[in-house]
Each structure stands twice: as structure tokens, then as C-alpha cells.
Chain A
Amino acid sequence: MSERRKRKTSNEPRAANPARPPAPEAGSGREGDGVDESPGLPGFRTWQGVYLFVFVLFVLVVAALAVFSQVYA
């Protein structure tokens, strides 16, 4: 992908104008550790798997609450 194309599709900030004084954000810390990494949980190789697990658990909890409401209605 060309540099121009990359910039057009990115939702991240563009590079600062070199003619301007340094922006205040220059002092911000811990950059560059946003890369995807393995969740490191047994049974889960990707984060998508973890999110799916949370979603399924959510559906089960809502279903259990609905059943609970019916049983004690």
C-alpha cells in the first residue's frame, strides 16, 4: 500500500508540520505498544476468540435472568 493511500485510510493523526514548533504531545509517554499480541489465556489464541467468549457469556447471562424472571413471576 502506498504512503498516500495509507494516510487516506488511517484514522490516526498525520505527522506534525516540521515548520512548526514541537507540539506539546511530544512529551507523551509509552508510545508504540499498541501492537496486537496473543491474549495469553489457555484455550484462546486470538482476541477475537476472547470477545466471542464474552459475548456468548453475556447472552447466557441475559437468558438466565429472563428465565429467573419467569420462574419467580
Chain B
Amino acid sequence: MNALDWFVLLGTMLGIAAYGTWRTRHTDHLDTYLKGSRDTGWLTIGVSVMATQASAITFLSIPGQGFESGLGFVQNYFGLPLALILVCAVFLPIYRRLGVYTAYEYLGRRFDAKTRLLGATLFLLQRGLASGVTIYAPAIILSTVLGWRVDFTIIGTGLLVIVYTVTGGSAAVSLTQKWQMTVIFAGMVTAFVVLVVKLPAGALEVAGTLGKLEAVDFSLSPDRRYTFWSGLLGGLFLSLSYFGTDQSQVQRYLGGASLREGRLGLVFNAILKIPMQFFILLLGALVFVFYQFEPAPVFFNQAEWRRHAEGADGAKFQAIEEKHTLLQAQRRTAARAWLDAQEGGDATVRASARTALVGVQEKIDAVRKEAKAALVAADPRAKTKDSDYVFITFILTQLPHGVIGLLVAVMFAAALGSKAGELNALGTTSTIDLWRQFRPLKAHDEARNVRNAKWFTAFWGLFAIGFALFARFSENLIEAINILGSLFYGVVLGLFLVAFFARRVGGTAVFYAAIVAQALVIVLYNVLSISYLWYNVIGCAACVVLALLLQWVLPAAAVRSGLQEGRAT
């Protein structure tokens, strides 16, 4: 990165944070602090919902997924539009009619205090841990490739987001997210255009031939991680839980001028999310095609590679690199021959060129595996997953200065946007569902409520920084977050579905059902090897079925007692 890149990066990041802080510095009403400005329109809500979901991992890891496994990951989002329709039709009108600040407030009104506390605790546990990953993920990747200190990067981004989120609350979050998403769209479109210009004609055919463009797989095998069915059903439950019951999303659409604005904001996401994810994955698949014609490193996390290549086994690493370079030259020739055959060759020539290209690619894949094995042999704790480094390597080596700064700003903008949404929600839930529950007499002191919300937001920000600094995370960061979410989301969704649709079930039955269902999910996760998306379905189904059974089995007195507690809260 040169001075121009630094100017673009710091100018956009500090500028947006300073603007958000300044514009919302006088936010002292609890309603505005927790729900945002009363005149927030549907576009701001829609962009805010999108920015909260799209973290830096989305823009670092997903192109890497496209590079390594093709477009299949897009199926994970197939349940999302259907889930958002349900949120618009069922969840949102109820939340708005009751004027709640948090989704768990609704559980307290429908059931009882302990069920509300359970829902809020599950959220704080899951989202609190995930917030550490959200801040760690871009920091570790960007620090590695840019040579920055990872602890400074974590602390710097963490403090920046704390400043404006604590100052302006939800109003600052929505305002800054709008500008951050503008930077993200501008950066990603620029990267896509530059990449397409650099590619030869027929790039899509090359990607298809090498198996990178299979977007939909109708296989029924439960062992396959991404299929149409797991994406539709598991994705439906994951999205319904995330958008309908996760406070970091609920808070984004609860504000706004009217129910209409919230609904249109969600419809905006229901329409755009799949095309957006497809576009990011396609970017990764096209980067893969780009490296068919240009030299690529044998292992994209070059810092990790060099660390071991310069050690005692240097000769072994050098031999692998030489073999890779030789094969890359063969692959370039094979790819060009295949493109020529597409233009003028007959069927036999085309088939032969295709076989040659696929054959060289298989050899290169084998060498990359050999490189990873060499890393593990040199150090069993070595990081062998390099797909998260593919896109950032492309950015730093292939894009012009200025655009590099813009793309690094994209990563930080995404990190700050999603982090701000999370902190805002964690602070709100801690204030409304914990503090106000235990200090009911202070609940009407508005200034004290705002003050506490600010303190809790700052606490969660510092917690995330501490967690990111001291924890050790899974190598595949986007999956780590999705797995963590899938373990908790199903049960929380079960709580809400019982609340909405099982009118006769009371607080006691659903409370114990949720606890048993959560224990069941954790046990099954350690025993079974199925796609993690299925745990959303299992957790939700277990919670609903157990709640219905318990309601039927429990002595009538216990259930009545649960219902009376519900009335009192």
C-alpha cells in the first residue's frame, strides 16, 4: 500500500466514523438511541439490515469459497427470501404493534420473565462470542498480508466502532452503515470490472470446465455440505431465526417511520441477497480463472509459507515451488489451447484440450495439497487453509494503487458495519432484558437508561476486543460463525414459533423444552457429522415438539403458574 491507498483507507473509515459521531452526538432519548431516528426510510433500513449481515468475512472468505469450491455456497441463501417474507408477515407487525425494544421483550410478555431471560441469554452468549470472531477475522487476514500487528489492528478497529456506536446508538449505526455500504458496493464493482478487463474471452467456459460454476445441486445426500435442499430448509430456519429473533437484525428494522418502511427494507434484502452472494462467489471463481493464465503462489497465505520455507526444510519447500511453477506454465498452455479449440476446433480437439486442461489442474491441486502437508510436517499447528487469502492477494498484487486502498477500506467498512450492529444489539438487550428486569424501579428514568445502554455497549465492545485478542479461532471463519449460530438459533426460533403459533403453551413448558432442546443440539453436534445447517431445524423442531409435549404432560397447576408469571411480566 502506498500513500494514496492510505489516504483512501483512512479518509473513508475515519471520515464515516467521525460523520456518524458528529451527526448523532446529541442522541439522548432512549427511543432514538435504541431504535434510531423516527424518520428512517426503507432504503436506510434495507441497507442497514444488509450491512449488519455482511461482515468483512463475507468479502474475504466468500470469494475464497468461490475460488476453491465454486458457486455452490450460494445455496446457503436459498431459504433467506422465504424467511424474510415470514418475518414481514408475522414477526414485524407484532413487534411494532407492541412497541418493544427487543425481540426477547415479546417473549416476556407472551410467556414469562424466565423465558425472556433465557432468550436474551442465548442471544448474548451466541452474539457475544460471534462478535469476537467478527473483529478478529479481518484483523488476522489483513495484518498477515499487510504486515501490520494483529493486536493493533484489533484494538484500532474495535475502538473506532465503540466510539460512534456508544455516542449515537442505533441512529449512528444506521447512518454509518449507509455510507459504509456505499464504499463496499463501489469497491466490489471496481474490483469486478478490473478483473473482467484482465480476463481473456471465454473465461466463464474455463471456470465451467474446471467445475467452478455449479451453483445448484439437487442431491439428497445429507453428507454434502451445500445442496438445494439443505440450503432451502436449513437456510430457511437459519435465516428465520437470524432475521426474526436475533436482536442485531430485529433492531435494524424495528425503527423507521412505519411498518411499511421496515417491510420494504426486508423485501429489499429478500430480492438482492442471492444475486449479491452469487456476484461475490462469481468474483472468486473468476479470480480462479485469472490464475489459470497468470502466476499464482503455491500457497496464498504467503506469510505463513515464507515462515516455514525459510526454516530447516527450505529445500523441500523450494522443490514444491519449482514443481508448481512448472505446472503453471503447462496450465497456461493448456488453457490457451482449450480456448483456441473452442473457437475453431472440432469436437475431438475440444475434448482432448479439455482433458489436458483438467489433467494439469488436477496435478496443480495435488501439488497444493503437498504444500499443505509440508506445512503441517514442519509445524503441526501451521495454518493450512489459504482460501481466505486468495482475494486479498489478488487485490494487493493486481489492482492499481488507490483501488487497493478502496478495497482494503471495503473490508474495514464491512467489519465496522456488522460490528456496530452487534454492539448496538448487545448493549440494548443487556439494558432492556437484563438491567431493567432486575432494577424495575429504575426503568422509567430515561437518562439513566440511555447512560446504561452506553455503558453496556462499551462493555461488549471491549469484551469483543479482549476475546479477539486472546482466543484461538477456527481457520474457516465464516463457517465458524455460521456453525456457532446454527447451534443456538434453532432453539431460539423454536421459542418464538411456539409464542406465535402454539397459543395454549405456557412459559414453564416452553422454558424447559428450550433447555432440553439446546442440550440435545450440543450433544448431537459432538456425535453426528451432518451439515451444520440441519442443527437449525433440529433445535427448532425439538423445542416446539418438547414444548407441546410438556404442556400436555406437566401438571395443570405448574402450567397455570407459568401462565400467571407470564401475565405479571
Contacts and interface: CB of A to CB of B under 8 A. Distances in A.
A27 B30 contact: yes
A12 B85 contact: no
A24 B94 contact: no
A35 B97 contact: yes
Interface stretch (B180-188, B267-275, B339-347): B267-275
Nearest to A10: B503
A1 interface: no
Contacts of A34: 92-98, 259
B31 A69 contact: no
A20 to B, nearest CB: 5
B299 to A, nearest CB: 28
Interface in B428-479: 432, 436-437, 440-441, 443-444, 446, 449
Contacts of A14: 566-567
A15 B109 CA distance: 9
A13 B271 contact: no
Contacts of B566: 13-14
Interface string B12-41: 000000000000000000110001001000
Interface string A20-35: 1111111111111111
A13 B109 contact: yes
Most B CB within 10 A of own CB, among A12, A21, A30, A35:
A30
A30 B100 CA distance: 8
A20 B30 CA distance: 25
Contact of A30 (B31, B215, B278, B436): B31
B267 A54 contact: yes
A53 to B, nearest CB: 9
Contacts of B156: none
Most A CB within 10 A of own CB, among B89, B105, B215, B503:
B215
B99 A31 contact: yes
B74 interface: yes
Residues of A contacting B: mostly: loop
A57 B476 CA distance: 32
A30 B96 contact: yes
A61 B271 CA distance: 10
Interface string A38-69: 11110000010011001101100110011011
B94 A11 contact: yes
B93 A36 contact: yes
Contacts of B503: 8-11
Contact of B105 (A12, A28, A61, A66): A28
B446 A27 contact: yes
Nearest to A68: B215
A47 B262 CA distance: 13
B324 to A, nearest CB: 27
B282 to A, nearest CB: 10
Contacts of A41: 264
B444 A27 contact: yes
A65 B513 CA distance: 40
A29 to B, nearest CB: 4
A10 B99 CA distance: 17
Given A25-B109, A55-B81, A62 B216 contact: yes
A31 to B, nearest CB: 3
A31 B98 contact: yes
Contacts of A35: 97, 259
Nearest to A71: B208
A12 B100 CA distance: 12
A28 B500 CA distance: 21
Contacts of B84: 54
B95 to A, nearest CB: 7
Contacts of B263: 39, 47, 50
Contacts of B89: 47, 51
Contacts of A11: 94, 110, 499-501, 503
Contacts of B446: 27
Contacts of A32: 97, 99
Most B CB within 10 A of own CB, among A25, A26, A31:
A25
B569 interface: yes
Nearest to B213: A72
Nearest to A15: B567
Most A CB within 10 A of own CB, among B84, B109, B275:
B109
A25 B35 CA distance: 15
Given A27-B443, A72-B207, A12 B568 contact: no
A65 B95 contact: no
A17 interface: yes
12 contacts: A21-B441, A23-B568, A24-B436, A25-B105, A27-B443, A30-B35, A30-B99, A34-B98, A39-B264, A51-B89, A68-B213, A72-B207
Interface of B: 30-31, 35, 38, 71, 74, 78, 81-82, 84-85, 88-89, 92-101, 105-106, 108-110, 204-205, 207-209, 213-216, 228, 258-260, 263-264, 267, 270-271, 274-275, 278, 432, 436-437, 440-441, 443-444, 446, 449, 499-501, 503, 566-569
A-B residue pairs, 6 tightest by C-beta: A72-B208, A34-B97, A13-B109, A31-B99, A29-B31, A34-B96
